[in-house]
Amino acid sequence: MTTILVVDDAAVDRRVVGGLLERRADFEVMYAENGTNALMQMEKTRPDLVVTDLNMPVKNGLELVQAMRVHFAGVPVILITAQGSETLAVQALEEGAASYVPKVQLAAKLVDSIDEVLAIVQAKRSHDRLVGSIDRTEFDLTLENDAALFDPLIDLFQEFVYGMGVCDDTDRFRVGMALKESLLNALYRGNLEIPFEETQDVRDEMLAGDKIAIAEQRRQQTPFSERRIHLSIKIDSEEARFVIGDDGPGFDPRNLPAPDDLSALDAEGGRGIMLMRAFMDEVTYNQAGNEVTLVKRGPNRS
C-alpha cells in the first residue's frame, strides 16, 4: 500500500485530488490543510509521497519542500501548479520537488506522474555502502532501442551519485527523473522519430517501459533498427556528467524554451527540458540537437 499525503488549504481542492487518488486500491490517502500541518502529520506517519498545492497560508508549498529536504529527505513531492505560480514552482523544483502537474491537467496527469515518481523512488539501495568506497568511475554504453533497459540503468547510476556523495537522498531521485526524460527523448523522439503528439498519447506506456505498437514497428525497419543510444558517464565526488546521444536527425536547440520562459511549465513540449534544467546543474545540447549533456555538481562545487 502506497501512502500519499495531499496538502491543500482549500477543502474542495483536497476532495478533488483525493477523489482522483482514492480510485486506486493501492493508494492510501491522508490530508493536511497547510505545510505546517503536513509536517506534523509526517512526524506521526511518514508517507511514501506528498502532493501539495503551492499557494497556502501558514507554510506554502515551497516552504514545505524546503522543510522536507531537511527533516524528511527521500520523501518525494509533486507540486500542483496554477496560473500565476510559475516562479514559485520553479523555485520548489530547484529546492527538491520531484515533479509537478498543472492544476488544469490533474485528472489526466496526476496519477501518471505519481506512478512515474514512485518508479524512480523504488530504486534499489542495497549497494550504497559498497558504492561509497568508489572514488571515480566512468562508463561508455551503447544501448539498443529498448525502453526496458532504462529503469535498471537509472537505478544503477542513482546508486553511484548518492553513494559517491554527489547528491543527497532527494537529489538522487531527481537525477533519475532527468535521466529518464533524456533517455525517452533519445529513443522515441530521436532514434525512432515518433512525432511528439504520438508520444504523448502513449506516455504512460513509455514511462512503464511497455511495448508501444509504433515503436515496435519502427524498431524492425531501416534506418531506425540500425540506430543506437550512446551514453558516456563520468562520476566522482565532485560531479556526475551524463552525455546521452542518439543516431536520429536531431533538432534545432535554438527552438528550445529559454530557461526563464515559465510558460513552458504548462506546455507539454517543454515539460521534459524544464524538469531536466530544474533537477540538474547544467543542461546543454550539441549543435545537431541529438546529444544532451547533463551535469550534477556535488555539494563542494559551486
162/291 same-domain check = yes
Residues 6+ apart with CB under 8 A from 40: 32
What is the C-alpha separation between 175 and 207, in angstroms, rounded? Answer: 16
What is the C-alpha separation between 25 and 48, in angstroms, rounded? Answer: 15
264/167 same-domain check = yes
Residue of 188, 261, 195 whose CA lies nearest to 229: 188
Q: Is the CB of residue 191 less than 8 Å from the CB of residue 224?
A: yes
What is the C-alpha separation between 257 and 275, in angstroms, rounded? Answer: 12
Model pLDDT, residue 133: 85
- Boundary (domain end) residue, out of 86, 121, 156: 121
Bridge partners (DSSP) listed for residue 100: 79
Domain count, the chain: 2
Q: Is the CB of residue 36 less than 8 Å from the CB of residue 59?
A: yes
What is the C-alpha separation between 11 and 19, in angstroms, rounded? Answer: 12
Question: Which residue blocks in the chain are alpha helix, DSSP H?
Answer: 11-21, 35-44, 61-71, 86-95, 106-121, 128-131, 150-163, 169-184, 196-201, 203-208, 213-219, 271-279
Q: Which residue has the cell 529527505?
A: 73
Bridge partners (DSSP) listed for residue 239: 297
pTM: 0.66
Higher pLDDT, 74 or 72: 72
Model pLDDT, residue 124: 44
- Domain contains 220: yes
The letter for the amino acid at 221 is: Q
207/244 same-domain check = yes
pLDDT digits (tens, 9 = 90+) for 246-287: 999 999 998 887 777 766 565 555 678 888 999 999 999 999
CATH number at residue 244: 3.30.565.10
102/162 same-domain check = no
pLDDT digits (tens, 9 = 90+) for 141-162: 999 999 989 999 998 899 899 9
Q: Is the CB of residue 21 less than 8 Å from the CB of residue 118?
A: no
101/182 same-domain check = no
Model pLDDT, residue 128: 63
> What is the Cβ-side half-sphere exposure of residue 248, based on CA atoms within 13 angstroms?
27
What is the C-alpha separation between 172 and 131, in angstroms, rounded? Answer: 14
Q: Is the CB of residue 53 less than 8 Å from the CB of residue 10?
A: yes
Give the pLDDT band of residue 119 (cuts 50, 70, 90): confident
- Boundary (domain end) residue, out of 94, 121, 148: 121
- Domain contains 272: yes
93/241 same-domain check = no
Cell of 231: 551514453
* For residue 125, pLDDT beyond 50: no
What is the C-alpha separation between 205 and 147, in angstroms, rounded? Answer: 10
94/156 same-domain check = no
- Domain contains 302: no
65/38 same-domain check = yes
CATH number at residue 76: 3.40.50.2300
- Boundary (domain end) residue, out of 102, 121, 140: 121
196/213 same-domain check = yes
SS3 assignment, position 97? coil
The letter for the amino acid at 83 is: Q
155/226 same-domain check = yes
Domain that holds residue 114: 2-121
140/192 same-domain check = yes
Cell of 46: 511518514
134/255 same-domain check = yes
Distance of CA 272 to the CA centre of its chain: 8
- Domain contains 171: yes
Mean residue pLDDT across the chain = 89
